Amino acid sequence: MFRLRMTSSLFSLFLLSMSFIMAAAQPAGCKIRITDKGLDMLKFETQRFVEEELSNISMPEMIGKEGRFQYTITDVKITELNLTHADLQFVPEVGLLFDVQNSSISLSFHRRILYWFFYDTGNINASAEGVNINTVLSLIRDDEGRLKINNITCDAKINKMRARFSGTLGKVYDFISKFLTSGMRFLLNQQICPALNHSALVHVNAMLDTIPVRTEVDQFIGIDYSLIDDPVVTSRSLDMHFRGMFFDLSDPHQHAGELRGEPGDPRVRPDGLPRSVRVLLRQWNVRVLQGGGLPDGHHHEK
């Protein structure tokens, strides 16, 4: 459900700054620019997505021995994420950077500890502090003209972890907490980046696969709005160039610049040229200007 909401948010983001001009002579009929304002909206959704993926991390059983102590840690669960210092930035010629600094993660564990002839079980509440995650997404155009994540580089580090024991011998075990927490910190460090890599390359790309790049306008004409090249990323913006051309439904490979017909054909204007539609979208205001069949100098506005 969240990934569907994220798809919707991406579409809403595209509407923030769009100039949509259908013209056969232009290689890019639709150009979309995402600036810092749009990035702020996307940051909120990206943060929620990362929090959801990290909360589903599964960690293996941890078994260890320290002197007379033998311990087993199971049922690791992330109970709370506090990604308070998160930022989303443009990476020139690459894509996007999602950066988390000095945040925290709360976890719970179940322990089984044997010391000489004493056996004890109980829960451990732990907190990972100083959590830093640096993730760079490389964006490309795929063969179908869809936006895709081509590669992801990730680096995660947890500065320290604290554990609070409960149970009969809780206070006794406080002095061995450093052995347990060092193992927990190592395991959690090893799980963060693989979880984010899988989510981006599998889940997000699968979501992007559901976005159509061609659609029907009426019973005669369709519109092709596939990407014509890779996104262009600078330090201040991300530009996407879409084909934005009409095509004949009876011949999907024939675009609007090649359409000609006899007078009276609804696909063309009385002079035999293809009809054109200009759509201007900025923020939430939509204006549609239709030409073709109207006297020169006149437009019909919706």
Q: In CATH, what number is assigned to the domain containing residue 142? A: 3.15.10.10
**Cβ–Cβ < 8 Å for 244, 228:** no
Question: Which pTM value belongs to this model?
Answer: 0.71
Percent of the chain clearing pLDDT 90 (strictly above): 37
Asked if residue 16 belongs to a domain, the reply is: no
Is there a single domain that holds both residue 105 and residue 201? yes
111 falls in which pLDDT band (50, 70, 90)? Answer: confident
pLDDT of residue 255: 59
State whether 171 and 268 are in the same domain.
Answer: no
Average pLDDT value over all residues in the chain? 77
Does one domain contain both 160 and 220? Answer: no
Mean pLDDT within 166-186: 70
Instruction: State in Å, rounded, how far the first CA of the chain is from the last one.
Output: 34
Whether pLDDT at 158 is above 60? yes
179 lies in the same domain as 83: yes
Residue of higher predicted confidence among 251 and 145: 145
Question: In 3D, which of 5, 233, 38, 240 has the Cα closest to residue 136?
Answer: 233
Provide the residue range defining the domain that includes 72: 36-209
Query: Confidence band (pLDDT; 50, 70, 90) for 195?
Result: very high
Domain presence at residue 236: yes
Length of the chain: 302
When pLDDT is averaged across residues 252-268 and rounded to a whole number, the result is 54
- In this structure, are 52 and 97 located in the same domain? yes
172 pLDDT above the threshold of 80: no
In terms of pLDDT, which residue wins out, 270 or 148?
A: 148
Q: Is 263 in the same domain as 169?
A: no
In angstroms, what CA-CA distances link 230 with 12, 144, 244, 266? Answer: 21, 12, 15, 35
d(CA 95, CA 14): 16
Task: Report which of 84, 187, 56, 200 is spatially closest to residue 136, judged by C-alpha positions.
Answer: 200
Where among 209, 237, 261 does a domain terminate?
A: 209
pLDDT range class, residue 245, cuts 50, 70, 90: confident
Hey, which residues does 105 pair with through a beta bridge? Answer: 81, 128
pLDDT of res. 156: 95
| 267 has a pLDDT exceeding 80 | no
pLDDT the model gives residue 171? 59
Amino acid 219: pLDDT:
87
Angle made by CA atoms 198, 97, 283, in degrees to the nearest 5: 105
Average pLDDT score over residue span 61-80: 84
Range 87-108 average pLDDT: 95
Q: Give the end of a domain, one of 151, 178, 209.
A: 209
The beta strands (E) that lie in the chain are given as 17-21, 30-34, 62-66, 69-82, 86-91, 95-115, 118-141, 147-165, 214-216, 221-224, 232-233, 238-242, 245-248, 251-255, 277-282, 285-290, 300-301
In this predicted structure, the answer to whether residue 270 has a pLDDT above a threshold of 60 is no
pLDDT for 220 beyond 80? yes
- Residue 18: inside a domain, yes or no? no
Whether 27 maps to a domain, the answer reads no
Asked if residue 47 has pLDDT above 60, the reply is yes
State residue 15's pLDDT score. Answer: 39
Average pLDDT of span 193-213: 93
Segment 157-171 shows an average pLDDT of 75
Q: 64-91: buried (b, 16+ CB within 10 Å) or exposed (e) per residue?
A: eeeeeeebebeebebeebebeebebebb
pLDDT for residue 268? 52
**Same-domain check for residues 57 and 193:** yes
Q: Is 172 in the same domain as 218?
A: no
Domain shared by 93 and 162, yes or no: yes
Note whether 165 and 58 are same-domain residues. Answer: yes
Q: Which of 167, 194, 209 is the last residue of a domain?
A: 209
In 185-204, which positions are buried (b, 16+ CB within 10 angstroms) versus exposed (e)? Answer: bebbeebbbebbbebbbeeb
Mean pLDDT of 62-83: 85
Number of domains in the chain: 2
